[in-house]
Structure 1
Amino acid sequence: MYKIIQLIVFTYILQLLPVPVQAKITLSVLFTNNMVLQQKDNVPVWGSTSSGKDIRITTSWNNKVYTVKPGPDGKWKTTVSTPSYGGPYSMTFDDGEVLKLNNILIGEVWICSGQSNMEMPLAGWGKINNYKEEIAAASYPEIHLLQIQKNTSTTPLSEIKADGDGWQECTPSTISGFSSVAYFFAKNLFEAKHIPVGVIHTSWGGTIAEAWTSGAALKKMPEFLGEVERMENDKDFEKKETEKYNQEIAARNRTLDEKDPGLKTTSWASQAVDVSSWQTMSLPTLWEQAGLPDFDGMVWFRKKIMLPETWKGKSLTLNLGPIDDMDVTWFNGTVVGMTDGWERKRTYTIPGNLVKTGENIIAVRVLDGSGGGGIYGEPQKMFLQSNTGEKLELAGPWAYKVALTKEQLPAMPVQRVTGPNRPTVLYNAMIYPLIPYAIKGAIWYQGESNADRAYQYRELFPLMISDWRKNWGRGNFPFYFVQLANFMKPDQQPAESAWAELREAQKMTLSLPNTGMATAIDIGDENDIHPKNKQEVGRRLALIALANLYGENVAWSGPVYKSHKTEGNKIRLSFSHTDKGLRAKGSDTLKGFAIAGSDHKFYWATAAISGNEVVVSSPQVTDPVAVRYAWGNNPQANLCNAAGLPAPPFRTDDWQGITYGKK
């Protein structure tokens, strides 16, 4: 009886205690602790509530209270005013339950987007120069980072996906996987102005510009109209095409296995195979840098490891880091994992029944279709680990053998309606949900994936910029972009170039107001589409902002071709942005100029600096009509100004309305 009375009393007391209730307010992932809000602005803020009550928003920088009524669906949106830069501050959202955000900075917010050269992180698959030192020094509590997750959608989404808990402070632990270009742009801005900077990184390697453009805008271009309308109206077609593509991929994988010499007779993954004739490569590394220059195709790697008696029969974890592009991995002749995606880390579980005392064999078949290839991450990320935490390091020498060249590989099926390379799908999922978050401007590094359609890019790229500006509703906000760097083998003689035409299309986009272009024609890499010197790329983008947006008296562009005139057998070129005179960077003579007569045949030319002009000639051309500079995939290019900034490539024939190349 006594116990029953105790229970009744206890139950009564519980009823008197306050019941914990979760906050009813839900905010966009754009609004988290550590966020950066645009200074001196009316900043949109939005979210939803399940309470049905008014939302009271209090901002600590001015102790002002804003009240907003949610709609019938619980969604709400308002604006809050921000002062000049500063912080940290806080914001509270109250609908009966209080949600508080801390460590908010007010400063400048930039969108950073594009393809892999924007995506390339400080460490990992795209290690920048001196990446360890740069990461160790990356302690900037007034630079905050927001990493948007990759996503696609055929229709505009209302919510964005972001990594982790949203905004993060820039520290050595948060910066290593973040965009190098975005970081160095922000770092240079902050060190020059000491204004907090927020960078929102939303990019995807290998993607086309039309994927980042809205359907409404793309309908203005006849070549995209049909596909956009089909995506909007024919969902069954998308489902059928996806199934067809998956079937084609499965058929290709079967053909790969049939062609692979490593899977015939004695498998190259087995312990019985003779590897005495195989070569050795120290991993991790891209194989182009370790004995297989300019190689695309299939390569097998093998490593013999010795395991102790205590590991026998125990499951293990195999970490290989990232592999470019696709791998199949065996342990003692049995497949333990396979992954497709150059940026994805490989972590596989080894079943205990495969683990033996003494000699064990790890074999990895790597398939790469373009660009860099191989097992390329960080040495400390390659290891075998026991269930007790003991590690066996795997970095170092591995045996390798080429199985198939690119020419021997079966053709890759075309992704018709899946993946990121479709009109509008990245805009819908990775740009549209950011709108109308208050931003200062955008930086952009893309174009490689549109290089075979440069004349189309003349219309598409400015269309995309205008589309973003229109939809954001913030006027002609600053939009700064990177011109493609030099890449591939240099031409022995002047030649037509798709990459040169794409650079030209980028340069022509400067006709839009409030745009700027960072030239990278001098800091590329013949063997790597992802050049390492992202520090200079970020610096050059920041120079554009400092000069044009913040009024700093700094040089921000290399010499830009302005006009020319013919003087007998020579052509004289004039330039803007000469900044205290022209220079031949790293040499006594100018390089990269070619000249042509009325036969339209270009010859390498002699070029001499004359004040702020350049005089170009060739003994092979007596009646010149056109000059080209740095016109090629990977041209010699050393014309710069006193600030060391390079001249963008150009051709006088196209600017005159006479195009000798193919349109």
Structure 2
Amino acid sequence: MQRAHIKLIAVVLLILPISIGGNIIRMSVKEYEEVSFKEHLTVKNEAPNVIFALAKHFQDHMVLQKAPARANIYGFSPDIGKSVLVSMQISPSHTYTYETTVIPGSSPDIGVWNVLLDPMVAGSSVNITAQSQGQSYIITDVIFGDVWLCSGQSNMQFTTVQMFGAAAEIADAQNYPNIRLMTVYEKVSSTPLDDLLKIQQNWTRPDNVSVGGPSWKYFSAVCWLYGKAIHKALGYPIGLVATDWGGTPVEAWSSPEALAKCGIHGKTKIKQPDSFIKYVESLPPSERHNLQGPDDNSQLWNAMIHPFLNMTIYGAIWYQGEADADGVKMNNYNCTFPTMIRDWRKNFYLFSGGQTDPIFPFGFVQLAPNSPNQSITVGFPDVRWHQTADHGFVPNQDMINVFMAVAIDLPDFNSTYGSIHPCDKMDVGDRLCLSGLAVAYERSEVFQGPFPIQGEVTPQGLKILYGDKWSLEVRDTNGFELRCDSDNWVPSAVIGSDITSVTIQANVCPQGENPTGIRYNWKESPCAFKKCAVYETVNGLPGPPFVIVDSVNIDGRPLFKFNGPVHI
């Protein structure tokens, strides 16, 4: 059946500056542009009685996106066709004023309005007032900086109070008044919403209460640590929006259009890791909601992402994948995850009127270890690989402007919250910051661990070359495996190394068989804490896992080249 289409009328404001009494008044000329959206992307509001209002996430103490982008301010009204006046006061003698008109939304009794503010430099502090038909709203202590969305499942939801070093981190929070925080309440919707159903933590400055809130409530440890680190490096305000829910698959955060591109039109079975199930079952029933999010397709896209699309943001970070580490979901992840990123980018760009970058920076955490069982080689290893669109590293040709933190060497088998929830979030935040500064802010950083360029059989063994991009440190001899002609994977120990290469045993295959593939750290939990085999020496970052199952024969010996995606 063909999908219906509707027409939305987007109001574009042309601003004419006029100076009156020392104030800058912005008079608006309206142009109308028809934009067609598919039905499943249309905005729907479930509020039974619509009144003139700002969208819920426009609040005191918030951060709006700084220049060169222009921040959007928007809301709702039943008075379609009426004017809305918005003023942005920078000082008692300096005010920008804008006028727009309430236009129809997707329902006949719901009007929407939107104003595009002037570009504001980082650190600007303003008060914003919106007025219409005798009603007005004012939000104060609004500052301009970079806005980051933090999303995913329980390891993103994992709060600062739960992490190692929580007391010191929470006590330090008050020293960063120009970081601002907001947490979305866990809600679902079967249709895309234009406003959040509920906010768990209103925009606030960081302190021991707002950062050190209850377990699984607020504030996200990874989100906080990442935001704090980039704030310290950049020196200007950062806004952090945590919108996450434990136990949820990537399909719940993806639009129907994105899922359709991966051939997904119905719900696929979910199998949670045993350690996750065990931990959730240990909680009182009243506390399980936080970690038992929906597995229905697009439910969280509709309720917890879609309401932000009109907002101008700088980037997003993501920690998720454990709920997709089995069966069909696992095998689809090399499509569902990269496609979700592209779809988020497209929609944020479209709905923000082109103010959010169409390839905004997107960072993620590669799955951390879980079970101490060294024999598990399916599930987490596959998802880690698929998180990179089967390249093993990011950014790459299929994941442009994407960055990651490798967490494969950070096990916490005795975690109070189950081994699937390691408490060392400090290293995760630091590594994600290094990657973010390099990719999202073009800083000169060593931001990822060593990744090989070639493997060749020599008289000494199989030599894996990493090039001159890194200076290598070898901390253990385990982690490498060779695939033999019989398709069995056999461990191969490190027997030598220098600053650009590692040599492993080449003669581990049964007699008469040759190596036909190489893989590294292809286990759910491959090593002890910070004791994997290969690291770089500048920031101590671990090499990510990799696999290569193709080679060419040179003078009777296999040569492995790491120059493209490897689909497993």
Same fold (TM over 0.5): yes
Q: How does 1:328-339 map to 2 (within 5 A)?
A: 339=286
- On the 8 A contact 2:309/2:347 being kept in 1, the answer is yes
| Residues 1:472 and 2:362 aligned together | no
| Residues 1:640 and 2:525 aligned together | no
Query: 1:215-265: per-residue Cα shift (whole Å, max 9, x none)?
Result: 12212233x22459xxxxxxxxxxxxxxxxxxxxxxxxxxxxxxxxxxxxx
| Residues 1:449 and 2:323 aligned together | yes
Residue identity over aligned pairs, in percent, reads 30
1:84 counterpart letter in structure 2: V
- Distance of aligned partners of 1:186 and 1:121 in 2 relative to their CA distance in 1, 3 Å threshold: same
Q: CA deviation at 1:170?
A: 1.2
Q: CA deviation at 1:50?
A: 5.1
| Residues 1:168 and 2:204 aligned together | yes
| Residues 1:523 and 2:410 aligned together | yes
| Residues 1:57 and 2:99 aligned together | no
2:497 maps to 609
Runs (4+) of structure 1 exceeding 4 A deviation are 50-53, 293-297, 654-658
Query: 1:523-555: per-residue Cα shift (whole Å, max 9, x none)?
Result: 122341001111111111111121122232221
- On the 8 A contact 1:324/1:342 being kept in 2, the answer is no
Secondary structure of residue in 1 paired with 2:486: coil
2:231 maps to 190
Secondary structure of residue in 2 paired with 1:480: strand
| Residues 1:597 and 2:484 aligned together | yes
Q: Distance in 2 between the 1:435 and 1:102 partners?
A: 23
1:85 maps to 122
1:548 to 439, 447, 458: 439
1:103 to 119, 141, 146: 141
2:473 counterpart letter in structure 1: R
Structure 2: state its 5+ residue gaps: 1-49, 105-109, 213-217, 269-273, 350-356, 552-559
Structure 1: state its 5+ residue gaps: 1-22, 229-292, 298-322, 329-337, 345-414
Secondary structure of residue in 1 paired with 2:325: helix
2:401 counterpart letter in structure 1: N
1:28 counterpart letter in structure 2: A
Q: How does 1:231-630 map to 2 (within 5 A)?
A: 324-325=280-281, 339=286, 341=288, 343=290, 420-452=294-326, 453-473=329-349, 474-491=357-374, 496-508=377-389, 510=394, 511-527=398-414, 528-568=419-459, 570-575=461-466, 578-579=469-470, 581-584=471-474, 587=475, 589-607=476-494, 608-621=496-509, 623-630=514-521
Q: Distance in 2 between the 1:557 and 1:444 partners?
A: 17
Query: 1:73-97: per-residue Cα shift (whole Å, max 9, x none)?
Result: 4421121122220133211222344
Q: CA deviation at 1:112?
A: 0.4
- Distance of aligned partners of 1:213 and 1:37 in 2 relative to their CA distance in 1, 3 Å threshold: same
Matched residue count: 458
1:650 maps to 546
Q: CA deviation at 1:47?
A: 0.8
Deviates more, 1:440-449 or 1:612-621: 612-621
Max radius of gyration: which structure? 1
Secondary structure of residue in 2 paired with 1:174: coil
Query: 1:396-431: per-residue Cα shift (whole Å, max 9, x none)?
Result: xxxxxxxxxxxxxxxxxxx9xxx6101111111111
- Distance of aligned partners of 1:157 and 1:50 in 2 relative to their CA distance in 1, 3 Å threshold: closer
Q: Distance in 1 between the 2:425 and 2:548 partners?
A: 30
Q: Distance in 1 between the 2:209 and 2:443 partners?
A: 32
Query: 1:321-359: per-residue Cα shift (whole Å, max 9, x none)?
Result: xx943677xxxxxxxxx6361649xxxxxxxxxxxxxxx
Relative contact order higher in (CA < 8 Å, ≥ 6 apart): 1
1:213 counterpart letter in structure 2: S
Q: CA deviation at 1:187?
A: 0.4
Secondary structure of residue in 2 paired with 1:137: helix
| RMSD over equivalenced CA pairs, Å | 2.9
Give the TM-score normalised by structure 1.
0.64
Q: CA deviation at 1:117?
A: 0.4
Q: CA deviation at 1:154?
A: 1.4
1:557 counterpart letter in structure 2: Q
Q: Distance in 2 between the 1:508 and 1:225 partners?
A: 21
Secondary structure of residue in 1 paired with 2:178: strand
2:73 maps to 45
Query: 1:151-205: per-residue Cα shift (whole Å, max 9, x none)?
Result: 1111111211343573111111101121000000000001111110001111111
- On the 8 A contact 1:484/1:521 being kept in 2, the answer is yes
